[in-house]
Chains A and B, each alone.
Chain A
Amino acid sequence: MFRRKLQALDYPTTDGYQPDDESKFRELIVWLEDQKIRHYVVEQRTALRQTTSPTWRQALNKYLQDLELGGMVDTSTNSEISDVLLGMGIRYDYCDNVEKFSKASSDLVKAEQRQAPKIVAANPLDKLDFSSPDFISGVNTLADQLKVAKHANHLVTLEACAALVKTRYSKEAQKSGLHKQKTGNPFPFQEVDQSFDCGDYVLNHAAKILRLLFICDIRDLQTKINECIVAVQTVTANPKTDTRLGKVGF
């Protein structure tokens, strides 16, 4: 009974409410006063909250009188009291959010349901104006803070920042220990690597850096291969020696 009303009020157990079940009935009354009607201040609710007390019915009658419902309900019928008080709770709820509920027409609900999936997918970043001066200065500030060199195209700078954050500062990177700056020996590739000459210093420089990035990728791949081998080794490895088989030392 009263499933819809209970649902509307977000009552914890909406199914199977039986007003004739005295304990459930008393729980509901206390809950309604505590959460929705709030006619009493907290101290005044004590008598009503003692749901196992033999004098609870008197407290209820007093409560109904205080709500000025004394003559209007049959105080001996639980279902009637439940109905009236639930209705009251709903009214208060409505009054608290008139605007929100008054808009709720069936058309609107339908429209909302149609829009719902779109809202989930909508990326708040889509609404950003990527070419606004604000955005550009934001990217530049970010780049300054991360010490990332700026590119003429601020979107490229942003990509570089993203790559850095991903490899150094993201949770995954922190977990895997990648965030630690790799230490190694510097290598004067500009002087040592004479393997090609495009005839232009800047072009040479760029091509050599490109090649370094490639080497970096390959190193990463090789490290993963090694990790894979080590993982398999933990299962298969069982090195043994037996000096009785051969003769060592003389």
Chain B
Amino acid sequence: MVVRSYNDELQYLEKLSENSWRIKKGFQPNMNVEGIFYVNKQLEKLMFDELRNACRPGAVGGFLPGMKQIANVAALPGIVGRSVGLPDVHSGYGFAIGNMAAFDYDDPLSVVSPGGVGFDINCGVRLLRTNLFAKDVIPVKEELAQSLFDHIPVGVGSKGIIPMTAKDLEEALEMGMDWSLREGYIWAEDKEHCEEYGRMLQADPSKVSSRAKKRGLPQLGTLGAGNHYAEIQVVSEIYDVWAARKMGIEEKGQVCVMIHSGSRGFGHQVATDALLAMEKAMKRDNIETNDRQLACARIKSQEGQDYLKAMAAAANFAWVNRSSMTFLSRQAFSKQFNMSPDDLDMHVIYDVSHNIAKIEQHIVDGKQKTLLVHRKGSTRAFPPHHPLIPVDYQLTGQPVLIGGTMGTCSYVLTGTEQGMQETFGSTCHGAGRALSRAKSRRNLDFKDVLSKLQQQGISIRVASPKLVMEEAPESYKNVTDVVDTCHAAGISKKCIQLKPIAVIKG
């Protein structure tokens, strides 16, 4: 890595507009394209502080600052357009979280990198609506929180309560949500309102190690720990009445359920296995990167193809996982209100993935190209009339679900044409960390965090309370800043704001 002073580094950064900065070539060695990141005033300060800290003499260890990571990704072979940092960007393994990068699928030198997808493959958010209103739910929110907690297995090492055999798992990995449909856990409309219709067709369970399957089998249908949660939320603001109506959200006060979860240990093992295989492939094919963590393989190589097939299986795992929890949430609500989920109108509004790599068609320099789009901590946000979004959202654009941090708020955005052109139809995914987990544990007390939530009137059920400060709102960037930046930059459009009244966490 080049060692320069902070002021020298600033030479490579140029403010493009109120909400975006350009990272010029030379900021990191061998950059094939430029970088761009989206910020507002508050987020800008966080980003530049991070860079300044990294430039202090003697600063070693830890992850590289987000800006540097964006620039390193811009140096990967086959990248097209720009390496994009979204407003919630923060350092991660190899790629920053909140970084999207697209690679030319037809260029033989292009690479796929597990670091560009993340360890929690197809981590994502699903939003269910109900026809209940705050006044129906607030009097029973404690009971409802407990009921959800009693239905959905949460926490580190939790096990699913939907009986699965090894054969069931193989089928689920191949079929994704079609498996859940076949077994009757979900509704046909759920599949309709899910990215990729809940199934990646290139999934190949035979490319997944038996270790991953062993880890995954008992965990299917569990929420997991970390930043994952299930929340009962109330619509607190509607910015786009028409789009909200298309999603079945009519008024403020309507109650929704948000599920944020991923592929659990299964996805983690798939990523770990791939990183090992790719380190060897890099040596063989002489692929050079700026950062060891950016392990990658040519898309067309055996390792690259194997990873894409295994990743698709992990994505299917995550969809079955969220589907199982949808089933359990519907049961919890149905028992509490003594009504069928149908009568409660518990439809899936949408289901997004924010850790995934997908093959998509985009227009680059006026030409249609097939790209492998890595979205790590970044959500697909396709514009109105895009053929890959459900028919119900053809007029509004794809719903983008942004899960906030515990006790703050969440948002639903919609995709825009401008986002399609500037960021390959991608936008932010959540708040984005501001403090590392270790730092959060040192600086905050879990009792304070819990009592603060109580004061806000949020019922909370946590499996491991001693880790709750890692997820405290203080550890994260302000999600409203993040969403407002995306809205102001035009890469997605604000539609609905939701506030939690009950949280279930690992």
Contacts and interface: CB of A to CB of B under 8 A. Distances in A.
Interface string B172-212: 00000000011111001101100000000000000000000
B385 A242 contact: no
Given A211-B385, A222-B192, A242-B161, A248 B150 contact: yes
Interface stretch (B62-70, B152-160, B307-315, B428-436): B152-160
In the complex, which of the residues A232, A237, A246 has the most CB atoms of chain B within 10 Å of its own CB atom? A246
A245 B161 contact: yes
B384 A195 contact: yes
B158 A247 contact: yes
Nearest to A189: B395
B47 to A, nearest CB: 32
A226 B188 contact: yes
Contacts of A249: 146, 149-150
Interface string B387-407: 000111011100000000000
Contacts of B192: 222, 225-226
Interface of A, secondary structure class, is: loop
A250 B417 CA distance: 47
A239 B192 CA distance: 20
B184 A233 contact: yes
Contact of A250 (B159, B161, B242, B463): B463
Contacts of A245: 159-163, 218
12 contacts: A195-B385, A218-B394, A219-B392, A226-B192, A227-B188, A236-B182, A237-B182, A238-B184, A239-B327, A241-B162, A245-B161, A246-B221
A187 to B, nearest CB: 6
A246 B185 contact: no
Given A195-B385, A219-B391, A248-B149, A187 B246 contact: yes
Nearest to B153: A246
A226 B189 contact: yes
A247 B150 CA distance: 9
A238 to B, nearest CB: 6
Contacts of B280: none
Nearest to A243: B161
A236 B188 CA distance: 13
B385 A229 contact: no
Contacts of A100: none
Given A192-B395, A226-B189, A229-B188, A242 B181 contact: no
B188 A246 contact: no
B328 interface: yes
B181 A187 contact: no
A239 B184 contact: yes
Minimum-distance CB pairs A-B, first 3: A237-B184, A246-B159, A226-B188
A247 B153 contact: yes
Given A189-B395, A249-B146, A236 B151 contact: no
A233 B181 contact: yes
A239 B245 CA distance: 32
B383 interface: yes
A98 B188 CA distance: 70
B214 to A, nearest CB: 16
B181 A241 contact: no
Nearest to B221: A246
B395 A248 contact: no
B233 interface: no
Given A192-B242, A195-B383, A241-B328, A248 B185 contact: no
B391 A195 contact: no
A192 B182 CA distance: 38
B158 A233 contact: no
B118 to A, nearest CB: 26
A193 interface: yes
A226 to B, nearest CB: 4
A153 to B, nearest CB: 30
Nearest to B390: A222
B242 to A, nearest CB: 6
Given A187-B242, A232-B182, 4 more contacts: A219-B391, A241-B161, A241-B162, A246-B153
A215 interface: yes
A233 B192 CA distance: 15
Contacts of B331: 241
Interface in A179-225: 185, 187-189, 192-193, 195, 211, 215, 218-219, 222, 225
A236 B184 contact: yes
A178 interface: no
B131 to A, nearest CB: 15
A230 interface: yes
B222 A246 contact: yes
B468 to A, nearest CB: 13
Contacts of B242: 185, 187-188, 192
Contact of B391 (A188, A222, A237): A222
A59 B152 CA distance: 97
A118 B137 CA distance: 72
A246 B152 CA distance: 10
A110 interface: no
A103 interface: no
A233 B160 contact: no
